[in-house]
Amino acid sequence: MKYNLNQLSEGTEKQSTYNALKRLLKFISDEQRNLWLALIAILVNSGLLLLGPLLVGHTIDTYIRTKQFHGVLVFGGILLVMYMIAMVTGYTQTKLMGGIGQRMLFTLRNAIFNKLQELPVSFFNQNKAGDLISRVNSDTDKINQFFSQSLMQFVSSIVTMIGAGIFLLSINLELGAAALSPAVIIVLFTVALTPWVKAKNAKSLKSTGGLSAEIQESLNNFKVIIAFNRRDYFRKRFDEANKENYKMAIGAGLANNIFVPVYGLLSSAAQLIVLLFGIYLISIGQFSLGLLVSYISYCTNFYNPLRQLAALWTSFQVAMASWDRISQILLLDTNLQQVEGDKAITSDALLEFKNVHFAYDDSKEILHNINLRFEKGKTYALIGPTGGGKTTTASLISRLYDATKGTVLLNGKDIRSFSAEERTQKIGFILQEPFLFTGTVKDNILYGNSQYKDVSDDELKKIIQDANLDALLAIFDEGLNTQITSGSDSISLGQKQLIAFMRAVLRNPELLILDEATANIDTITEQLLSSILNKLSKETTLVIIAHRLNTIENADEIYFVNEGEVQKAGTLNDALNMLLKGKRVS
Ligand SMILES: Nc1ncnc2c1ncn2[C@@H]1O[C@H](COP(=O)(O)OP(=O)(O)OP(=O)(O)O)[C@@H](O)[C@H]1O
């Protein structure tokens, strides 16, 4: 299945802004009360600000021209009160919309993170962590910036513009139509350029994701970079990614700024039209001076928000381009869903592969028509040359991936019909490169283990003793409380494998896979692990992947995995011969 987000974005049709916005607004569907309050605040605010020029015009024509200063004072007082109320409503709308934006950001980040948790391993194989981090952090923030800072201004600008437009047309239709004509050009210009601006922003965000992926890759591999003195190579790669990002950001910046001067020019043209046409109307006695002053104010009230909208429209385009990138993740199917298994296919083995084929991507099939049976309580070994397909086989046993053809059966039922919880309870997997989280040894060995999640340290020590794991725990200076830092070198690779081993054994799985799980462990500790494994429940099935044949001496059955095919190897000696020949024996 294709999960590469950058390729997916090129292949799929872009969703319309309306549909995208509708889906985005679902994240604030429970904010209706606050949205209504904010809207009321915006309406009151804009209404009050729009009444101002009318009152000023009225004061000029009625009181100033007739020198009735009492009226000037009264209307001055009314205007002051109106502007103070407008200030309060302005603050209220900012506060409400800021809160809505922050809560939306919170929900959105949760939704993406939860989605990431549901996606299959293939998704993470096909996408770079840096790009994903950029989507979760920076793209969500772009949406938040629009919602918390710009949306309120956006709505209030539109409301003010509509109000000012109504005043302009109702005071004098002809003059109003003339004043609004540049706005029609602005709308046409905006509609025509919007797709281009959005595309420029999408490219810029994509290159930011690429830059983030580059940084993440070099940080993750800094030891190799230093050991091979490849700093120049990575500097060059970073330089290229940075240059690309710079180029894209300049492109997006130019596109984003194109609206502002055009809007500015056309709003000045509108002012000029009003002034010339207004003076002409006054000269033929169809208009008053006070009304012209009001008119110019309304014209400003119409075109100033329009100028602001130019900047806000840009912010909106950036937010929508970011939303597209986030939507791509949210719209992905989690292909490891629980399905109804085919009841006709059953098995009496603990785990069985029936005609299983597997490919990581469309280019090459890795496993071809595999048939395997693992019985309860037996030990199996998978051996074979590097790249032969052992880890891939183990990954299918633990359903890190689904077979592309054929069926994997667990307890006689399609493995896909088990819930993730049931499956992980039954199957333990010690990976070649165990991953530990920041925390203590205790946190790490209890990771994902619901059975022991509330046990005290003393109870846990007893459980560890019963599982014969106490000798392993003694290797850590501070026992259960030894601190571990994720991804760091605070403990050795062998020690990491020991923690992963304890983590898996404590779950007491029905089937335990050890993928080169003792490769970095000294011989004495290895013997200790082997004696712990021997003491595991007689019901536990072991699948051991190993390059060192001494680790599989006690296996009941040995499988030779090579070039995506699996074959019984017979005795340890036969297995050795197969390995030496590096190919299958028939
Ligand atoms: N994530 C992946 N995406 C694409 N191809 C992969 C992936 N992982 C492994 N492969 C390919 O699948 C084949 C089998 O790899 P696998 O890791 O299963 O071999 P292995 O027998 O476990 O090797 P080793 O002994 O080195 O661990 C190899 O050709 C490898 O290139």
Q: Whose CA is nearest to atom 26 of ligand 1?
A: 386
Give me the amino acid identity at 147.
Answer: F
| pLDDT at residue 577 tops 70 | yes
Same domain, 442 and 309: no
CATH code for the domain in which residue 71 is found:
1.20.1560.10
Nearest residue CA, atom 1 of ligand 1?
A: 125
On whether the CB atoms of residues 160 and 305 are closer than 8 A, the answer is yes
Question: Domain check: are 463 and 534 in the same one?
Answer: yes
Atom nearest to 122 CA in ligand 1: 1
CA pair distance 504, 518, nearest whole angstrom: 14
Assess if residue 341 is contained within a domain: no
- Flag whether 58 is in a domain: yes
Cβ of residue 386 lying under 6 Å from some atom of ligand 1: yes
| Total domains present in the chain | 2
In a domain, 47, yes or no: yes
Per-residue pLDDT tens digits for 218-267? 877 777 777 777 778 888 888 998 999 999 999 988 888 888 888 888 88
135 lines ligand 1 (CB under 6 A): no
Taking the centre of ligand 1 as the mean of its atom positions, its distance from the CA of residue 395, in whole angstroms, is 10
Checking if the pLDDT of 585 tops 50, the result is no
Ligand 1 atom nearest 382 alpha carbon: 21
ipTM: 0.95
Is a pLDDT exceeding 70 seen at residue 13?
A: no
Query: Is 301 in the same domain as 413?
Result: no
pTM exceeding 0.90: no
Ligand 1 atom closest to residue 388's alpha carbon, by position in its atom list: 21
Residue 486: the pLDDT is 64
Expressed in angstroms and rounded, the spacing between residue 212 Cα and the centre of ligand 1 is 27
What's the whole-number average pLDDT of the chain? Answer: 84
d(CA 52, CA 297): 9
Task: Give the pLDDT of residue 485.
Answer: 77
- Asked if 258 and 116 sit in the same domain, the reply is yes
Do 232 and 368 sit in the same domain of this protein? Answer: no
**Same-domain pairing of 370 and 304:** no
State whether 401 and 538 are in the same domain. Answer: yes
Structural domain contains residue 335: no
Give domain status of residue 320, yes or no: yes
Question: Which CATH number belongs to the domain containing residue 391 in this structure?
Answer: 3.40.50.300
- Is the Cβ atom of 384 under 6 angstroms away from ligand 1? yes
**How many degrees, rounded to 5, is the angle at CA 105 between CA 103 and CA 111?**
105
Q: What is the pLDDT of residues 378-432, one digit of tens each?
A: 999 998 888 888 999 999 998 988 898 999 999 988 998 888 888 888 898 888 7
Last residue of a domain, one of 330, 361, 394: 330
Cα–chain-centroid distance for residue 214? 17
Among protein residues, the one with the nearest Cα to ligand 1's atom 16 is: 389
Candidate from 357, 383, 391, 520 with most ligand 1 atoms within 8 A of CB, to mutate: 391
In a domain, 336, yes or no: no
Q: In the prediction, which pLDDT does 586 show?
A: 40
In a domain, 364, yes or no: yes
Alpha-carbon distance 346 to 413, whole Å? 6
Say what the pLDDT of residue 512 is. Answer: 92
Neighbour order of strands in the sheet with 541-545: 427-430, 511-515, 541-545, 379-383, 557-562, 565-568
Range of the domain at 301: 7-330
Q: Is the CB of 125 under 6 A from ligand 1?
A: yes
Q: Is residue 344 part of a domain?
A: no
Assess whether 355 and 277 both reside in one domain.
no
Q: What is the DSSP letter of 402?
A: -
| Centre of ligand 1 from the C-alpha of residue 378, in Å | 26
Q: Residues 39-48: what's their mean pLDDT?
A: 87
231 CA distance to ligand 1 centroid (A)? Answer: 28
Residues 324 and 359 in one domain: no
Percent of the chain with pLDDT over 90: 10
Q: Is 120 in the pocket of ligand 1 (CB under 6 A)?
A: no
CA–CA dist 181, 173 (Å, integer): 12
Q: What is the Å distance from ligand 1's center to 392 Cα? A: 6
392 touches ligand 1 (CB under 6 Å): yes
Of 269, 299, 330, the position where a domain reaches its end is 330
Q: Write down which residue in 283, 301, 330 finishes a domain.
A: 330
| Nearest CA among 379, 365, 352, 386 for reference residue 561 | 386
Q: Give the C-alpha separation, 36 to 158, whole Å.
A: 16
218 and 72 within one domain: yes
Q: From residue 306, give the alpha-carbon distance in Å to each of 46, 116, 180, 263, 580.
A: 14, 40, 11, 7, 78
Of the spans 306-315, 335-344, 576-585, which averages the highest pLDDT? 306-315
